[in-house]
Structure 1
Amino acid sequence: MNVNLDQLISLRHWLHAHPEISRQEVETAKHMRGFLTEHATPDDIIPLDGAGFAAIYNGNPPGKTVLLRCELDALPIHEINTDLPHLSLTDGVGHKCGHDGHMTILAGVAQALKQRPDQGRVVLLFQPDEETGTGARNCVAHENFKQITPDYAFALHNLPGFPAGAIICKHDTFASQVRYGAIRFNGKEAHSAQPETGASPSFAMAELTLKAREIQAIYDRPDAYALVVPVYNQMGVQASGICPARGEVQFTLRSPHADIVIKMWDELFQFADTLADRYNLEVSQEILEEFTATVNHPDGFDMIRQAAASTNNALHTIDQPFRWGEDFGEITSRYKGAMFGLGAGENRPDLHNPDYDFPDEILTNGIEMMVALIKLSLKGSAA
């Protein structure tokens, strides 16, 4: 496998030091395009939604198309591991999900493709906005995605808590369905000495927050978990004489099954509507983010299993899907494919922790896996 590891590590460190949050990844995308153009020139670059783009590597003869995806965005988390030589230069923003490592892995795949695949076509998707759940959805809906239409699609995510370089995968649902939504109440302000002359959302918000536990208990079970988690609330102003008129509660709902998430949200809002009648309020709802469950196709899972065996990476199969959401589900719901985890080390800080840093030592494991998946996907694909 012909890759320049020193070059890739330097790239990863630059990306880590220059993080950009979702919908703002302009410089990140520009840097990645420049790296590819200089070190592994693609046959074409197709612009997609936002800062997103796809780098195309054509084989000869033509045939099937395999898509590999990485993410451009970082998180609004302040980095605290100040001993890093590649410390984030942007206050309050850090690559605390390891997307800098994912981009670098695809850059390594691009280096390995300098001589082009034996047949078929490889598409490297550098996708924006994963952390908001909108990036994959908007990229596949983009007019230019019609030029791609993959036969297979794969993605990875680094996973602390597993042995470094291990491959983690699962049949069927790999990452959960997630909905993040807001329920808002609107009433009438009053003097806090005479609250009965107004309509405050305070008790409705409290009762709705407690109702979340009851709804979760109905659907949560050992073989398929369910979560309804209040994550934010806001009401009133800091003034002793004002009884508030407006309030908002935000919830995150999670389950392996989309229908369960929808049912839980509907029951939550129905109860909010009942409370609004009781307390003389208006009520509204807004879905802020939605992550489609990432469901692994049987063929995709089997290819990951074969790739792990051919690269001598230990394969760990899990029984339950991960509770976090991943917008790669927007792609696996449309095309054959699968997602797998890449172990980042058992004693490493968890994802989204302020001291997390993607381990450079697993870059080669990720590159080897992706290259193996390309070969499996395009095998026998000649037209």
Structure 2
Amino acid sequence: MNEMAHSPFVNIRRNLHQIPEIGFKEFKTQRYILDYLASLPQERLEIKTWKTGIFAKVKGRTGSRTIGYRTDMDGLPIEEQTGLAFGSTHEGMMHACGHDIHMSIALGVLTHFVQNEIDNDLLFIFQPAEEGPGGAAPMMASEEMQQWRPDEIYALHIAPEYPAGTIATKEGLLFANTSELFIDLKGKGGHAAFPHETRDMVVAAAHLITQLQTVVSRNTDPLDSAVVTIGKLTGGTVQNIIAEHARLEGTIRTLSAEAMAKAKHRIEKLIEGIEVGFECIADIDYGCNYYQVNNDPSIARRFIDFMNQKENIELVVCKEAMTGEDFGYMLKEIPGLMFWLGVGSDYGLHHAKLNPDERAIQVGIETMTSYFHSLA
């Protein structure tokens, strides 16, 4: 990484890494990017803001087609433990999913095309709230997107498990459908010595957790894939009071939109049974929902063929993953592609010690600039 210490885009990444912000509160991040864009030649550059996001259009010679490139902007509510000299200055916040890397690559590609004109227009989309509550769907519906809607669209996501610079993608489904899951159970609390006068929500929650395990094992096609995980359970106050309230928090992930709908239907039926069996009231909230990332087959083949011709690129045709990404809402309406970019970290995504290899930044920039030149 030493040879890249003076790269402006590594420096940009380090600056952005210090100011992670949660979804739709990326005020410093937006200001930083706008200030950088203002430093570039403006003759072919047009900028619009949307909430805390940014649309930046680089005009081409003919503008007969518009190619989109999306990057995400937000961080995560994680206390950083990397020990880096440029660590987060925002307490309890970290770019633990690599969006600082994503933004620096996007700015590198944008800068190249401000300085090197091609036929196509390029639309760079700096999207807020990817981690939640979800910025892609409302951004797609925005007036700005309707005015500048691209003909095809691209994005990348860092992959700690691959060596720096490796590119991995595939035709068709790449990321799963995902949904958050929050269930609140309300019964009747009381003294532990008089359980018959109460409706114990810890017991109800325990039964529900067990029943939820059947959604995959007994209600999902064995040839399909789904995950239902309860990651957090809270309930009660002290050891000798029966709990009046319990809360379950988890996630649902499926490889098809149909399997997601079926999983949610079955979960709702199980909850109805808990309400009857334990004489309680239940509320369910699905929180953030992300649509599957589905790469356009013809675009994926073109991208893979191009990368296979580059001697300095190691391309992996990978399997689909149960990770979620709201870029899927953009691919639902616009043909395009997402790929993994290896960053060779010992710690994975959303980990407090994630430390991507910054050499991947230049690989990402060179990959997308050469590919976009090939589309001209």
Asked if these proteins are the same fold (TM beyond 0.5), I'd say yes
Structure 1 residue aligned with 2:359: 361
Structure 1 residue aligned with 2:184: 184
Contact 1:311 1:368 in 2 (8 A): no
Structure 2: runs of 5+ lacking an equivalent? none
For residues 277 and 221 of structure 1, the distance between their equivalents in structure 2, rounded to whole angstroms, comes to 28
Aligned to 2:125, the other structure's residue is in SS state strand
Aligned to 1:130, the other structure's residue is in SS state coil
For residues 194 and 222 of structure 2, the distance between their equivalents in structure 1, rounded to whole angstroms, comes to 49
Q: Is 2:230 aligned against 1:230?
A: yes
State how 1:103-122 maps to structure 2 within 5 Å. 103-122=103-122
Structure 2 residue aligned with 1:372: 370
State how 1:304-323 maps to structure 2 within 5 Å. 304-312=303-311, 313-318=313-318, 320-323=319-322
Aligned to 1:228, the other structure's residue is in SS state strand
State how 1:237-256 maps to structure 2 within 5 Å. 237-238=237-238, 240=240, 242-256=241-255
Structure 2 residue aligned with 1:70: 71
1:192–1:339: structure 2 CA closer, same or farther, 3 Å change rule?
Answer: same
Give the CA deviation at 1:364.
1.4
For residues 239 and 214 of structure 1, the distance between their equivalents in structure 2, rounded to whole angstroms, comes to 30
Contact 1:176 1:256 in 2 (8 A): yes
Contact 1:152 1:337 in 2 (8 A): yes
Structure 1 residue aligned with 2:10: 9
Structure 1 stretch displaced more, 109-118 or 278-287: 109-118
Q: Is 2:40 aligned against 1:39?
A: yes
Aligned to 1:288, the other structure's residue is in SS state coil
Aligned to 2:182, the other structure's residue is in SS state strand
Structure 2 residue aligned with 1:342: 341
For residues 92 and 224 of structure 1, the distance between their equivalents in structure 2, rounded to whole angstroms, comes to 38
Aligned to 1:11, the other structure's residue is in SS state helix
Give the CA deviation at 1:372.
3.0
For residues 329 and 126 of structure 1, the distance between their equivalents in structure 2, rounded to whole angstroms, comes to 15
1:39–1:5: structure 2 CA closer, same or farther, 3 Å change rule?
Answer: farther
What is the TM-score of this pair, normalised by structure 2?
0.93
Q: What's the CA shift string for 1:117-136, capped at 9, x where partnerless?
A: 32121011111001115111
What is the TM-score of this pair, normalised by structure 1?
0.91
1:341–1:5: structure 2 CA closer, same or farther, 3 Å change rule?
Answer: farther
Give the CA deviation at 1:202.
2.1
Question: Which residue type is aligned with residue 43 of structure 1?
Answer: L
Percent identity at matched positions? Answer: 25
Give the CA deviation at 1:357.
2.0
Aligned to 2:286, the other structure's residue is in SS state strand
Contact 1:296 1:332 in 2 (8 A): yes
1:133–1:314: structure 2 CA closer, same or farther, 3 Å change rule?
Answer: farther
Structure 1 stretch displaced more, 143-152 or 322-331: 143-152
Structure 1 residue aligned with 2:256: 257
Question: Which residue type is aligned with residue 59 of structure 1?
Answer: G
Give the CA deviation at 1:27.
0.4
Give the CA deviation at 1:254.
0.9
Count residues with an aligned counterpart: 371
Aligned to 1:180, the other structure's residue is in SS state strand
Contact 1:208 1:268 in 2 (8 A): no
Contact 1:127 1:139 in 2 (8 A): yes
1:282–1:221: structure 2 CA closer, same or farther, 3 Å change rule?
Answer: closer
Structure 1 stretch displaced more, 114-123 or 247-256: 114-123
1:297–1:55: structure 2 CA closer, same or farther, 3 Å change rule?
Answer: same
For residues 133 and 243 of structure 2, the distance between their equivalents in structure 1, rounded to whole angstroms, comes to 33
For residues 219 and 33 of structure 2, the distance between their equivalents in structure 1, rounded to whole angstroms, comes to 44
